[in-house]
């Protein structure tokens, strides 16, 4: 069901409310959405509410807000997609992501997409208010980096494209994520443990050759079109992308 912006919940802005913080709530559960909006109103916030990701993105791009509260799981465009699209479009508004997912990888994914903070469900309204106060005090984001360049390599996280010397690399999702981690740490050693955690969400040593196998395939695709090896093995430590990140 398409839940259009709820102006009845948001209300009209009076002269006394002009200095109140404006918060957009994107939450598909109607009961939670109303509970949060009512609680924020009681604390002096002005709110707009929507129940679908695409409606939330439309409002975030169109109207100025002091903060966004975005659920992780939304119909249509999910919370991660909304945040990535908003950041790619230059929206610097602080974002708090609500998530019922307890896995570390899910929370990291939200933060990597551009969220400023996250709050696990169920949560206390007092904690949400405290987190809102904290994020709106922080300096606004100048730009969320979604494109990386290191020597002849280019990576676009929004378009999900990898290029070498301007030619597209045909990478699997795992290989793409592996290259992303290498480029985020370009010029520095990336250990096997770091790759296990950031690519596979393993917080222990599974005693398999999963890293070596996928790294070998990635290096094969990259080195096939490279004049020199770009990903080096640092014996006893891990791997290193020879080039540092180019200036943004």
Does 79 score more than 90 pLDDT?
yes
CB neighbour list of residue 128: distance below 8 Å, 6 or more residues apart: 36, 39, 69, 96, 119
pLDDT at 13: 35
Q: Pick the residue with more confidence: 204 or 95?
A: 95
* DSSP per-residue codes, 37-99: HHHHHHTT-EEEEESSHHHHHHHHHHS--SEEEEESS-SSS-HHHHHHHHHHTT----EEEEE
Tens-place pLDDT, residues 82-113 = 998 888 877 888 999 998 766 666 677 778 88
Average pLDDT, the chain: 83
Does 137 score more than 80 pLDDT?
no
Does 40 score more than 90 pLDDT?
yes
For the chain, domains (ranges, CATH) are 22-137 (3.40.50.2300), 147-241 (1.10.10.10)
Separation of alpha carbons 226 and 220, rounded Å: 10
Q: Which range, of 5-9, 127-131, 172-176, averages the lowest pLDDT?
A: 5-9
pLDDT at 26: 97
Tens-place pLDDT, residues 118-135 = 888 888 999 999 999 888
As given in the structure block, the two tokens for residue 234 are 């640092």
Separation of alpha carbons 8 and 72, rounded Å: 24
Q: How many residues does the chain have?
A: 248
Report, as an integer, the average pLDDT of 186-207: 83
Could you give the C-alpha distances from 145 to 1, 168, 190, in angstroms and in order? 34, 20, 20
* 125 preceded by a cis bond (ω within 30 of 0): no
């Amino acid at each position: 069901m398409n839940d259009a912006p709820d102006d009845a919940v948001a209300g009209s802005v009076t002269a006394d409310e002009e200095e109140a913080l404006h918060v957009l709530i994107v939450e598909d559960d109607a009961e939670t959405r109303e509970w949060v909006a009512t609680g924020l109103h009681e604390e002096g916030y002005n709110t707009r509410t929507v129940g679908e990701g695409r409606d939330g993105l439309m409002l975030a791009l169109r109207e100025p807000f002091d903060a966004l509260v975005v659920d992780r799981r939304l119909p249509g465009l999910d919370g991660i997609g909304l945040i990535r699209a908003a950041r790619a479009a230059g929206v610097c508004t602080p974002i708090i992501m609500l998530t019922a997912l307890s896995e570390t990888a899910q929370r990291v994914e939200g933060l990597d997409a551009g969220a400023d903070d996250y709050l696990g469900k169920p949560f206390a309204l007092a904690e949400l208010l405290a987190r809102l106060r904290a994020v709106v005090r922080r300096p606004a984001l100048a730009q969320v980096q979604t494109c990386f360049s290191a020597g002849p390599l280019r990576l676009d996280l929004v378009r999900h494209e990898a290029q070498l010397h301007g030619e597209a690399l045909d990478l699997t999702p795992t290989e793409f994520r592996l290259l992303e981690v290498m480029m985020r740490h370009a010029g520095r050693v990336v250990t096997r443990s770091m790759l296990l955690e950031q690519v596979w969400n393993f917080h222990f040593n599974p005693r398999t050759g999963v890293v070596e196998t996928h790294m070998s395939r990635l290096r094969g695709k990259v080195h096939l079109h490279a004049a020199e090896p770009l990903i080096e093995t640092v014996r006893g430590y891990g791997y290193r992308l020879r080039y540092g990140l180019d200036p943004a």
